[in-house]
Amino acid sequence: MAANPMTQFEVYRIGPEIKVGAFDISFTNASLFMVVSSLAILIIFNLGSKKNSLLPNKLQLLAELSYTFISKMIGDTAGTKARPYFAFIFSLFMFVLFCNMFGMIPYTFTVTSHIIVTFMLAVFIFVGVTIIGFVKHGFGYLKLFVPSGVPAVLLPLIVIIEIISYLSRPVSLSVRLFANMMAGHTMMKVFGGFVISLGVVGGWLPLSFSVALTGLEILVAFLQAYVFAILTCIYLNDALNLHH
């Protein structure tokens, strides 16, 4: 029972069942960790921005370094036009990062290991970016699918490929994060199970593997949040500065 590595992803209700029409919107363990992550972000950044001293303390330094980090990332990938979307990308990066990191604590639930969560974020980004593109460029935004300097013979094929790749953006974005988180946590669970089943004699090898994997997963947790945010920036860049 405990050896099943998928049980860690199970969602269960905390508290009463809440139903709105046909939809069940009960508070679950997933909701709990969304709330915990958001609250943690808000508390850390609130404390980090409360006092403005010339020599910042650790929390202030953390908040300001994060701010400049995201700001630089957006500036590098999407330019100055992406300034109004800074707050969104900052929240997105922090939310994904904190959800990933909270998932690394034993007995917690990883919000981002659920495809529905990452898919909703990705779809929101996709729809938002598409709307921004059409608002900024009108139907000229469709030029995104027609790269310049392509022979006329190849053009129909290229356009079809471009459209498919554009439409698969939300899928690739969401699956990348979800699959990474799920695979990592499953692996850790599997190695954890090996430790138990091999016991004191043979359990050391999978245990050391588990330790190494934990380090790797922390890296992945950060990296995937970063990739998620930077891909959002790149999509935004496509919508803001049409340069195909």
Partner 1 sequence: MIKKKFFQIVFFNFLFIEKVFAGESGGMPQLNPEFWASQIFWLTITFGILYVVLSKLILPKISANLESRKSQISDNIEAADRQRNESEEKLKEYEDIILKSKAEAKNIFNEAREKALKDINSKNEILDKQINEEIKKAEDEINELKKGAPVKINKIAIEMSSEIIKKLIGADVNNSSISAIVDDLFKKDGEKYYGN
Give me the amino acid identity at 216: L
- Shorter beta-carbon distance to partner 1: residue 33 or 141: 33
User: What is the distance between the alpha carbons of residues 96 and 113, in angstroms, rounded to a whole number?
Assistant: 10
Which of 104, 175, 198, 230 contacts partner 1 by CB under 8 A?
175
Cβ of residue 121: shortest distance to partner 1, in angstroms? 8
Residues in the chain, total: 244
Stretch that binds partner 1, among 56-64, 74-82, 130-138, 219-227 (CB under 8 A): 56-64
Residue whose CB is less far from partner 1, 83 or 244: 83
| Smallest distance, partner 1 to C-beta of residue 30, A | 5
Structure tokens at 171: 């899928």
Closest listed residue to residue 33, CA positions, set 90, 116, 102: 102
Q: Does 166 bind partner 1 (CB under 8 A)?
A: no
- The answer to whether 112 and 96 have CB atoms below 8 angstroms apart is yes
How many other CB atoms are found less than 10 A from the CB of residue 75?
15
Closer Cβ to partner 1, 67 or 209, answer by number: 67
Distance separating the N- and C-terminal Cα atoms of the chain: 54
Contact pattern from residue 15 through residue 54 relative to partner 1, giving x for each residue in contact according to CB under 8 A and a dash for the rest? --------xxxxxx-xx--xx-xx--xx--xx-xxx-x-x
Count the residues of the shown chain that bind partner 1, applying the rule CB under 8 A.
56
Please name the helix (run of DSSP H) or strand (run of DSSP E) that holds residue 79, with its range, or none: none
d(CA 30, CA 10): 9
Cα distance between residue 47 and residue 146, in whole Å? 48
Q: 49 or 241: whose CB is closer to partner 1? A: 49
Among 61, 105, 116, 157, binds partner 1 (CB under 8 A): 116
User: Dihedral angle at the C-alpha atoms of 158, 164, 167, 172, nearest 10 degrees?
Assistant: -110
Residue identified by tokens 């508070």 is 27
Please, are residues 175 and 219 in contact by the beta-carbon 8 Å criterion? no
Q: Which of 57, 61, 69, 87 binds partner 1 (CB under 8 A)?
A: 87
Closest distance of CB 113 from partner 1, Å: 7
Residue 93 in contact with partner 1, rule: CB under 8 A: no
| Contact residues: partner 1, CB under 8 A | 4, 6-7, 9-11, 13, 23-28, 30-31, 34-35, 37-38, 41-42, 45-46, 48-50, 52, 54, 60, 63-64, 67-68, 86-88, 90-91, 94-95, 111, 113-117, 120-121, 168, 171-172, 175-176, 178-179, 182
